[in-house]
A = this chain, B = another copy of it.
């Protein structure tokens, strides 16, 4: 049994326009369980770039809270468009388990087709490496460095106000509020 007040880090990116170039804000919120926000981390990653894994590893490893993180929660496997995160490398280099939270069962074939179409087929390997998409209640997850049972326990503790973990919902509110002037929509 995990404690109700375990510290987890939930990560989400800012919204951006299709025509936009450059970097996008990535926000990490440090939560105790599903209840209290203890801190905020941030980084910038390139739109459709390749630096998300490296930048997020750096953001996590330089945090003063790092030794207390029980888990890193990601809102999908990519940030800033197709800047795909290597979740195994993230788990290895931070020594913290990673859970990818997915709202709707992804159409993996469509994603692969799109990557080929936009000349980013080298990213297909990262998606395949992330492993199978596991159902968990009404949502789905991909895991690195953590078993299914423990991951479900973490969902139970952190999903206090919606279907997705509170730290991801908060990171979404913060990232969109800072970028657009007011937060909107769902994570």
Residues of A within 8 A of B (CB): 25, 27, 36-37, 39-43, 59, 62-64, 161, 170, 173-174, 176-178, 181-183
Copies in the complex: 2
Q: Is the Cβ of A173 less than 8 Å from the Cβ of B36?
A: no
Enumerate chain B residues within 8 angstroms of A27, measured Cβ to Cβ.
177-178
Shortest Cβ gap from A185 to chain B (Å)? 11
Question: Does B183 lie within 8 Å of A39, measured CB to CB?
Answer: yes
Q: A163 CB to closest chain B CB, in angstroms?
A: 16
A40/B161 in contact, CB under 8 A: no
The residue of chain B having its C-beta at the shortest distance from the C-beta of A42 within the complex is B178
- Chain B residues with CB under 8 A of A37: 37, 170, 173
Query: Are B181 and A59 in contact (CB-based, < 8 A)?
Result: yes
Closest 3 A/B residue pairs (Cβ): A40-B177, A40-B183, A39-B183
